[in-house]
Structure 1
Amino acid sequence: MKNTDILIQHWQQVLANINDVCRQTAAPQPVQLIAVSKTFPINDIVTLYEAGQRDFGENYIQEFSEKTGQLAELDIVWHMIGHIQSNKSRIVAERAHWVHTIDREKIARRLHEQRPECLPPLNVCIEVNISAESNKHGISPDKSELLALANIISALPRLKLRGLMCVAKAGSTDSELQQQFHQMQNLLQYLHQAGFAVDVLSMGMSADLSIAIACGATHVRVGSAIFGQRNYTQTENNSEK
């Protein structure tokens, strides 16, 4: 079997798994698959694009820049899911459709200022450090901190606050995952009650997407289950999600 056939087979299996969980849990909305293509070649993205995948996620801004430049003619929906340094924000503001990792006012304002007026508002999610790990980015799950950042983003017309994003603690048990994901669901509901029109919970990856969907995920970010294990010889001064 060719490598391209294996790649498509893995992608189709992930889609089938998502659909199965949605049926079993009676998920109220479709769940969007973001294929996380970081460290994988452009040919793999093209293979999945031709098979029907449209949403792709990248972590590293240099890699994001190269791929979005070379694939500019394709109607790919690009999701930045890695930490953004303020001195590298312009390329994201100009080319991304989504940013899942807003965790401070400075980066929100820079993305707003650098977003071209000819483009629609940039869809953004606030990243929550739901596991309270010091090596992860994101705001704390404190509601006052969340509300403050949500208010700042909502006042920036070239950004559109869509919801929340998290990365669960590695090695969590199923019960611990459920606790973290349910807390995210509660935080999204809190924003609803505060008057924000948010509808996105970006949570769940290859190892925990079933539990995330059962807990209300609307977007899952899947890499290794589709593309295989990564080779991290190419690195950038960005933290991995």
Structure 2
Amino acid sequence: MATIFTAWQGVLTRMAKAAQAAGRSPESVHLLAVGKTFPAESIRELHGCGQRAFGENYVQELTTKARELADLPGLAWHFIGPLQSNKTRHVAEIAAWVHTVDRLKIAERLAAQRPESLPPLNVCIQVNVSGEASKSGVEPKAASALAHAMAALPRLRLRGLMCIPEPTGDDERLRAQFATLAALKQQLEREGLVLDTLSMGMSADLDLAIREGATIVRVGTALFGARTYNSNQDQGIPG
């Protein structure tokens, strides 16, 4: 456990330093441990260190790991990958959060399929802040209409916004993309929506994201090590 525990403590320390440098409380930023491609036992080990929020990118991995780790107390699953309409039921029944809603149809299916026995499903709108054609996410100018429509749905709780910036070695470009998401959240709040979440920042850029207001950072490789993919897996959303 020492290796994962040391990595976990290192990430938490890095997050705290970034928050303090931005004049923020370290408690204002939360770590989401991304388990994509890593075995359930790695998640079990990190849970034993004290981590409770875990993210998965693939529905099959989410369902398998949720079954294998059902005995762990307090574990909260976050779905952070592209979500197809024919796979929403599994996510609605298992996850506590979905970060990647970018269409009203997906939100409506999640709302309809969320079991009454569970608390409302926390959701974030994924925004394409980089303008890349290959990226999922709603365009910033269309986010307001989607947000207000989602906020009216039953069994969902709209918490905020999520983004995946364009991979670049230019820190200023990265900061500008994070700042776009933060500004959009402020706009939606002025429009009367109550939001508390900016899901942005990963292993390589979480410091910049925290500086621009991130409240959840999604970290995988800095906790578990480098990923390996088989021929049937794409690389999806990194962490």
Q: What TM-score comes out, normalization by structure 1 length? A: 0.94
**RMSD of aligned alpha carbons:** 1.4
One-letter amino acid matched to 1:82: G
2:137 alignment partner in structure 1: 138
**Distance of 2:43 and 2:87 partners within structure 1:** 23
Following superposition, the deviation at residue 235 of structure 1 comes to 3.9
Counterpart mapping for 1:11-160 below 5 A: 11-27=8-24, 30-74=28-72, 75-142=74-141, 145-160=142-157
The structure whose RCO (Cα within 8 Å, separation 6+) is larger is 1
One-letter amino acid matched to 1:207: A
Following superposition, the deviation at residue 24 of structure 1 comes to 1.5
Gapped runs of 5+ residues in structure 1?
A: none
One-letter amino acid matched to 1:26: G
CA spacing shift, 1:237–1:179, aligned 2, 3 Å? closer
Deviations 1:36-82 (A, max 9, x none): 01100111101110100000000000000000111122221110000
Following superposition, the deviation at residue 237 of structure 1 comes to 7.5
Gapped runs of 5+ residues in structure 2?
A: none
Picking from 203, 211, 214, the partner of 1:206 is 203
**Distance of 1:221 and 1:239 partners within structure 2:** 13
Following superposition, the deviation at residue 240 of structure 1 comes to 3.0
Contact 2:200 2:218 in 1 (8 A): yes
Identity of aligned residues (%): 50
Contact 1:82 1:238 in 2 (8 A): no
**Distance of 1:92 and 1:84 partners within structure 2:** 9
Picking from 187, 190, 199, the partner of 2:187 is 190
- Larger CA deviation: 26-35 vs 122-131: 26-35
Contact 2:97 2:121 in 1 (8 A): yes
2:173 alignment partner in structure 1: 176
